[in-house]
């Protein structure tokens, strides 16, 4: 009996191992490379210019099928290629009747990029709180870091001791504004490499949003009113000289909002086919437009807006997911399921199960037939070894390989 249990355990371990590594080896051998396009809205053409890499080099085209050289693209996208045009003395003096100043272009250019792995990751809940009005040209890293649990605590980085005076000051200030401990989400930009500091945006235990920073040693706290039906999943704080918005906010129902300067008004960003759990989003701003690009495994969706985030034009291009390609269709027949330890959409390591579609039933049928042939050729009783067929009907090719490696026991055992 112990021998049979040991054999069954080896079979299950083998199936588990094969489900992780066999599909991985398959994809490394047969997956076709997909060149993702990059779409920008040209203020000259009033159309999208798409850049797509290939084995022969980058290919540039618009939605009407016209192709362009790299030098032509520089002129058609003067804001994103301002430095190159200035270097070549080709930077335009005006566009659409508006005089263009290179410094103004630099100030208005920005890029925000949020991927699912930015959201699905572990965070060490210790944050530096900068002095936002120190009187110095550059921001300086503080000597203590804070956390918000039962209260707001500052811990000195040198001796790991709690700074009680500062902790009491900020905890009391938060309580005076109705903050409910502990914090559910703390978002900031903890680097000195930024033009100024706007501190942190914090979601409390009651899902209320607060803006907190240090001003001349004193707490600055501003409750930010948001509708009760909005549940914040992620916040991105990025200080820019443009001062158009404090932060970008993503909700649990995959809506994107900006918190505007200086009144904390919510501005909804139009998106197409966005899902925060599986889609990369990139917002590119310039002097005239805001380009919102959403990438997922199957395609690209772009929405271009004016400076008030009203849609102007849209563009979509689909190449299909890996399981819609030839190699993916074959994999559905081969593998009834697969396990992954890592996924691109998360920084966590775990076991991620994917169950194949109805095509896998054909692969399972072939595996069952091969199991019957194997048992018959080796002289094993098909009737007495019914458990092998159950294992193969559940695990397909993984179970068949495991049974070959660990065949049934003879009567002497």
The string of DSSP letters for 200-220 reads: EEEE-TTS-EEEEEEETTEEE
Please give the backbone phi and psi of residue 290, each rounded to the nearest 5 degrees, phi first.
-130, 115
User: Listing from the earlier edge strand, what are the strands of the sheet with 59-62?
Assistant: 38-42, 47-52, 59-62, 67-68
Per-residue model confidence as pLDDT tens digits over 113-163? 999 999 998 888 999 999 999 888 899 999 999 999 999 999 999 999 999
The Cα 90–Cα 82 span in angstroms is 9
The Cα 340–Cα 353 span in angstroms is 7
Mean pLDDT to the nearest integer, 61-78: 95
In 3-state terms, what secondary structure has residue 84?
A: helix
Cα 183 to the chain's mean position, in Å? 23
In 3-state terms, what secondary structure has residue 168?
A: helix
CB 275 within 8 A of CB 296: yes
Spatial CB neighbours of 184, under 8 Å, sequence gap ≥ 6? 203, 204, 205, 207
The Cα 108–Cα 370 span in angstroms is 65
Alpha-helix residue ranges (DSSP H) falling in 234-346:
326-334
Long-range contacts of 12-15 (CB under 8 A, 24+ apart): 12/402, 14/398, 14/401, 14/402, 14/405, 14/406, 15/391, 15/395, 15/398, 15/399, 15/402
pLDDT band at 380 (very low <50, low <70, confident <90, very high): confident
Does the structure show a pLDDT above 80 at 411?
Answer: no
Name the pTM for this structure. Answer: 0.88
pLDDT the model gives residue 381: 83
pLDDT the model gives residue 4: 84
Q: Which of 93-97, 236-240, 257-261 has the lowest mean pLDDT?
A: 93-97
pLDDT the model gives residue 410: 65
The Cα 330–Cα 328 span in angstroms is 5
Does the structure show a pLDDT above 90 at 34?
Answer: no
173: left (phi over 0), alpha (psi -120 to 50) or beta: alpha
Does the structure show a pLDDT above 90 at 234?
Answer: yes
Please give the backbone phi and psi of residue 258, each rounded to the nearest 5 degrees, phi first.
-115, 140
Share of the chain above pLDDT 90, in %: 83
Which of the 8 DSSP states describes residue 144?
E
Average per-residue pLDDT for the chain: 93
The Cα 226–Cα 265 span in angstroms is 9
For residue 318 the two structure tokens come to 């689909």
Preceding amide of 182 cis, omega within 30: yes
The Cα 292–Cα 393 span in angstroms is 46
Share of the chain above pLDDT 70, in %: 99
Which of the 8 DSSP states describes residue 158?
T
Per-residue model confidence as pLDDT tens digits over 292-313? 999 998 999 999 999 999 999 9
- Of all residues in the chain, what percent are helix, strand and coil, respectively (each to 5)? 30, 30, 45
Determine which helix (DSSP H) or strand (DSSP E) holds 172, and give its type and residue range. Answer: helix 164-176
At CA 33, angle to CA 47 and CA 36, rounded to 5?
Answer: 20
The Cα 383–Cα 237 span in angstroms is 66
The Cα 328–Cα 326 span in angstroms is 5
The Cα 397–Cα 204 span in angstroms is 50
pLDDT the model gives residue 52: 92
Does the structure show a pLDDT above 50 at 316?
Answer: yes
Nearest Cα neighbor of 200 from 142, 115, 284 is: 142
Cα 116 to the chain's mean position, in Å? 2
Does the structure show a pLDDT above 80 at 81?
Answer: yes
Please give the backbone phi and psi of residue 13, each rounded to the nearest 5 degrees, phi first.
-65, -40
Mean pLDDT to the nearest integer, 258-276: 95
Mean pLDDT to the nearest integer, 95-115: 94
Determine which helix (DSSP H) or strand (DSSP E) holds 83, and give its type and residue range. Answer: helix 82-87
pLDDT band at 413 (very low <50, low <70, confident <90, very high): very low
In 3-state terms, what secondary structure has residue 40?
A: strand
pLDDT band at 32 (very low <50, low <70, confident <90, very high): confident
């Amino acid at each position: 009996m112990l021998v049979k249990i040991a054999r069954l355990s080896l079979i299950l371990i083998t199936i588990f191992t094969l489900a992780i590594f066999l599909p991985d080896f398959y994809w490394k051998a047969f997956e076709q490379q997909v060149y993702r396009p990059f779409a920008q809205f040209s203020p000259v053409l009033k159309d999208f210019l798409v850049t797509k890499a290939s084995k022969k080099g980058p290919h540039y085209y618009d939605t009407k099928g016209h192709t362009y050289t790299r030098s032509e693209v520089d002129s058609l996208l003067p804001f994103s290629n301002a430095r190159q045009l200035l270097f070549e003395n080709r930077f335009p003096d005006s566009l659409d009747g508006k005089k263009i100043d290179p410094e103004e272009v630099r100030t208005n250019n920005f890029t925000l990029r949020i991927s699912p792995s930015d959201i699905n990751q572990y965070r060490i809940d210790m944050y530096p709180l900068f002095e936002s009005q120190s009187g110095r040209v550059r921001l300086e890293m503080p000597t203590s870091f804070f956390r918000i649990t039962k209260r707001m605590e500052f811990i000195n980085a040198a001796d790991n001791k709690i700074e009680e005076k500062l902790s009491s000051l900020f905890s009391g200030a938060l309580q005076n504004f109705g903050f409910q401990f502990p914090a559910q989400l703390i978002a900031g930009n903890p680097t000195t490499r930024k033009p100024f500091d706007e501190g942190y945006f914090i979601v409390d235990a009651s899902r209320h949003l607060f803006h907190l920073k240090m001003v001349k040693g004193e707490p600055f706290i501003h409750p930010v009113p948001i509708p009760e039906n909005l549940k914040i999943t992620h916040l991105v704080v990025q200080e820019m000289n443009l001062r158009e918005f404090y932060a970008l906010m993503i909700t649990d129902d995959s809506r994107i909002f900006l918190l505007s300067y200086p009144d904390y008004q919510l501005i909804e960003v139009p998106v197409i086919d966005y899902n925060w759990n599986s889609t990369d989003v990139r917002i590119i701003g310039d002097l005239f437009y805001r380009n919102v690009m959403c990438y997922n495994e199957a395609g690209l969706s772009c929405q271009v807006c004016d400076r008030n985030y009203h849609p102007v034009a849209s563009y979509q291009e689909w190449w299909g997911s890996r399981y819609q390609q030839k190699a993916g269709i074959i994999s559905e027949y081969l593998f009834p399921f697969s396990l992954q330890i890592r996924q691109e959409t998360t920084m966590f390591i775990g076991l991620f199960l994917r169950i194949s579609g109805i095509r896998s039933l054909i692969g399972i049928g072939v595996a069952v037939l091969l199991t019957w042939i194997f048992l018959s050729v080796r002289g094993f009783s098909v009737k007495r070894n019914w458990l092998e067929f159950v294992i193969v009907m559940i695990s397909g090719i993984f179970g068949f390989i495991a049974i070959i490696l660990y065949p049934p026991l003879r009567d002497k055992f």
